[in-house]
């Protein structure tokens, strides 16, 4: 184990409270899906195994990102690992949970006029704008350093990343008909703009020649990474991971679009 972690307790590194939260949420989900849902929700329908697996996987991504030693390294030692944590939340955890939630669980929340308001709120252009403002706003040095020094603000930051992830993925993985998913063709365009809007900024950040975040100048170094190298690695991971995720979703949408066009 790396020296900066060797003195830490099991509770600090593995955070039993977080694993308890993850387990409790999964148990409640399974009880609702398989036992109580049919009694409480009018529109109950059996949930496909793929949705159940997706939700449970999303909760284990939650634990890996926020409860395992990964969380300690992200919060106290390496900017690059903190970037991976943010990306796990936005690119993995949020879409897995969204896909895993059965539609009948959310439909009462967007019935009638609430559904019309939700469609306006989750307009694709609004989605792209909100996601980018949240994601890059919280990576401004003043807010980023505040999150590392204040537990309450750090929680708020991750809550906002979750909200940003919901806005980003709603046109692709919306679980309810009241907020319809984009058709495959428009999905391709949506992912293109969502991914490319911020790509020039990400490239500039990768090649920046000075550290932006003072917090990391005064922490123990892991793997011989200097603060600048750690920062460059973090932004490189961000750029590559976001491009790969958006490109994969766009390709999936294009294949579906191509198949529909082929059989029309």
How does DSSP assign the chain, residue by residue? --HHHHT--HHHHH-HHHHHHHHHHHHHHHHIIIIIHHHH-TT--PPPHHHHHHHHHHHHHHHHHHTSHHHHHHHHT-HHHHHHHHHIIIIIIHHHHHHHS-HHHHGGGG-THHHHHHHHHT-HHHHHHHHHHHHHHTTSHHHHHHHHH-HHHHHHHHHHHHHHHHHHHHHHH--STTSPPPPHHHHHHHHHHHHHSSHHHHHHHHT-SS-S-GGGGGS--STT--HHHHHHHHHHHHHHHHHHHHHHHHHHHHHHHHHHHHH-
Q: What pLDDT does residue 1 have?
A: 62
Determine what percent of the chain is predicted with pLDDT higher than 90.
69
Q: What is the mean pLDDT of residues 170-182?
A: 92
Residue 8 lies in a domain: no
Residue 6 belongs to some domain of the structure: no
**264 pLDDT above the threshold of 50:** no
**Residue 90 lies inside a defined structural domain of this protein:** yes
The predicted structure's pLDDT at residue 258: 61
Is the residue at 34 inside a domain?
yes
In a domain, 248, yes or no: yes
Over residues 171-198, the mean pLDDT reads 88
Q: pLDDT band for 3, please (50, 70, 90 cuts).
A: confident
Examine the pLDDT at 73 and tell me if it is beyond 80: yes
For the chain, the average pLDDT equals: 90
Report field, pTM of the whole predicted structure over 0.95: no
In the chain, how many domains are there? 1
Q: pLDDT grade, residue 260 (50/70/90)?
A: low
Give the pLDDT confidence score for residue 237 in this predicted structure: 94
- pLDDT of 149 higher than 60: yes
Q: What is the pLDDT of residue 246?
A: 93
In a domain, 3, yes or no: no
Question: Which of the residue ranges 106-110, 140-144, 164-168, 202-206 would you say has the lowest mean pLDDT?
Answer: 202-206
**At 203, is the pLDDT very low, low, confident or very high (cuts 50, 70, 90)?**
confident
Residue 5 in this model has a pLDDT that exceeds 50:
yes
Q: What is the pLDDT of residue 198?
A: 72
- Max avg pLDDT among 51-60, 142-151, 232-241: 51-60
pLDDT of residue 262: 41
Average pLDDT over residues 255-263: 61
Residue 115 lies in a domain: yes
Its domain, for residue 187, covers 13-263
Is residue 132 in some structural domain? yes
């Amino acid at each position: 184990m790396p020296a900066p972690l060797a003195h830490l307790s099991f509770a600090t590194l593995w955070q039993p409270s977080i694993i308890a939260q993850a387990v409790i949420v999964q148990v409640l989900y399974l009880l609702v899906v398989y036992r109580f849902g049919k009694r409480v929700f009018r529109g109950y329908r059996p949930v496909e195994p793929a949705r159940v697996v997706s939700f449970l996987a999303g909760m284990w991504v939650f634990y890996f990102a926020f409860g395992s030693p990964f969380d300690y390294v992200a919060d106290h030692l390496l900017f690059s690992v903190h970037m991976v944590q943010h990306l796990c939340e936005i690119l993995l955890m949020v879409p897995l949970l969204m896909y895993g939630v059965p539609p009948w669980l959310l439909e009462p929340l967007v019935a009638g006029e609430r559904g019309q308001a939700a469609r306006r709120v989750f307009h694709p252009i609004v989605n792209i704008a909100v996601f980018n403002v949240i994601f890059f706003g919280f990576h401004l040095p003043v807010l980023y350093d505040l999150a590392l020094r204040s537990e309450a603000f750090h929680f708020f930051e991750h809550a906002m990343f979750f909200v940003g992830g919901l806005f980003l993925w709603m046109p692709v993985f919306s679980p309810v008909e009241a907020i319809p998913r984009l058709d495959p063709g428009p999905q391709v365009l949506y992912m293109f703009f969502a991914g490319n809007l911020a790509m020039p900024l990400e490239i500039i950040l990768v090649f920046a020649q000075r550290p932006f975040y003072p917090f990391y100048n005064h922490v123990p170094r892991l793997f011989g990474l200097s603060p600048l190298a750690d920062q460059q690695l973090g932004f490189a991971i961000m750029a590559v991971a976001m491009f790969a995720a958006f490109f994969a979703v766009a390709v999936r949408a294009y294949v579906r679009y191509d198949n529909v066009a082929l059989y029309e």
